[in-house]
A = this chain, B = another copy of it.
Amino acid sequence: MASTLYRLHTHLWRARNQSLFPAVIGARWMSNSQSPLSDIQHGRLEINKTSTPKKLPALETLKFGHNFTDHMLVIPWNSSQGWGTPEIKPYGPLSLDPSSTVFHYAQCIFEGLKAYRNKKGKVTLFRPDLNMARMNLSAHRLALPTFNGAAFLDLIKELVRLERHWIPQENGHSLYIRPVMIGTQNTIGISPPDSALLFVICSPVGPYYPDGFKPVALHGTTEYVRAYPGGTGAYKIGANYAPGVFPQKQAAKSGYVQNLWLSGPEHNLTEVGTMNLFVVFRQEDGTLELVTPPLDGMILPGVTRDSILSLARSHAAGTLRLPNLTSKLVISERGVTMKEVCDAVQSGRLVEMFGAGTAAIVSPINRIGYQGKDIEIPVEDNGMGPVSRPIWADLVARQTGEVESDWSVVVYEE
């Protein structure tokens, strides 16, 4: 019975997300869909509240990912019983055997999503189903256990409700939620782990650009790559992140903020730092083309990426009106090479470039260092471009609940 329900859930889940992650939702992303083991069960939740709640940090002191709330959610898994008792308990250290595989072989995956609280105290999450689906894909790719995403999401909601006083209500503020899964098998051999731990911690965060949008300069990176065909670039796994720190340091030494990750002999643009990438070209007839690289296995299927594409497509189809965007708009998921970017800058047809991700939402780009030269990318006075600004405004309004949206999932209402 449990297994039948699980399979049904799997099918629904897959159908729901198929259109959003077409390149990565394959035939078998729920590896244990026929498993007789226990899945995550909301009903088994145990809550142990802290007796020493922390003082809430002053908003102006918030630094991204430096403050954590009073509690965390932990759910253990092992290969003989499946998912164990979920527990919300005081935020505190994990005690792990030094042989745990996460320390040796990078058996770790994560997600990042935000909870918003409006002035009336309503708490919402933004498209959390996508994070659940993507985390299952990541788990499957690393041979970590998959899980019932809906049940895990229900538990995350419990944690967010308990911590809702931690969510700042001010503009641009939110609670950053970080689900993580690690392999905890206590042997040095490399295999699918026989035990794992899923946990969630929360961090109140302020606006990524507290003083208004600040365009960033990128280093067009050719000596290091972020991803490659047959690799893991499409998954949100720890292993995609550690190798990027050194190249970022090198870029910073040369005066650039982030890496523009290029790929292949044609120097195809892939991602920027840890964000997805968008480029806007003006075509001969004045049409604006919003371009982002396709989900070809090297690109992370970002929730912000998908949301931007979806809003832009609705505008282009006439079902949504983005203010001040009067030019005709077409949307392309296609490859873009550095040659195309350089040519478009030269001929004045490059309109804007920006990164997109959960942390910064939209991050405008004003310069690319490439093969010893600096290429200036247009930015408007207010720090964004003609396409990114209306999309960003609409997206933020949906995220915060200011504009009604199916994407906004209510967690709590007073």
Residues of A at the B interface (CB closer than 8 Å) are 63-66, 68, 72, 91-99, 102-108, 110, 112, 140-143, 176, 178, 180, 182-183, 187-192, 199, 201, 203, 222-225, 228-232, 237-246, 248-249, 274
Contacts and interface: CB of A to CB of B under 8 A. Distances in A.
A66 B97 CA distance: 12
Given A94-B98, A104-B180, A223-B230, 8 more contacts: A93-B95, A96-B96, A102-B102, A190-B244, A224-B230, A237-B242, A239-B240, A239-B243
Contact of A94 (B95, B239, B274): B95
B141 A103 contact: no
Contacts of A91: 98
Contacts of A72: 98
Contacts of A225: 228-231
A241 B96 CA distance: 20
Contact of A249 (B110, B188, B192, B229): B192
Interface centre among A72, A187, A191, A230 (most CB of B within 10 A): A230
A110 B112 CA distance: 28
A91 to B, nearest CB: 7
A306 B93 CA distance: 41
A226 B141 CA distance: 14
A203 B98 CA distance: 12
Given A189-B65, A225-B231, A249-B192, A201 B98 contact: yes
B108 A103 contact: yes
Contacts of A244: 190
Nearest to A263: B230
A229 to B, nearest CB: 7
Contact of A243 (B97, B176, B192, B237): B237
Contacts of A238: 103-106, 239, 242
A241 B141 contact: no
Contacts of A191: 245, 248
Nearest to A249: B143
A178 B188 contact: yes
A232 B223 CA distance: 12
A103 B104 contact: no
Nearest to A67: B187
A99 B229 contact: no
Given A180-B103, A188-B64, A225-B231, A199 B98 contact: yes
Contacts of A103: 94, 102, 108, 110, 180, 182, 238
A232 B238 CA distance: 14
Nearest to A261: B230
A97 B95 CA distance: 9
Contacts of A178: 99, 104, 188
Given A66-B187, A110-B104, A230-B225, A98 B180 contact: yes
A128 to B, nearest CB: 18
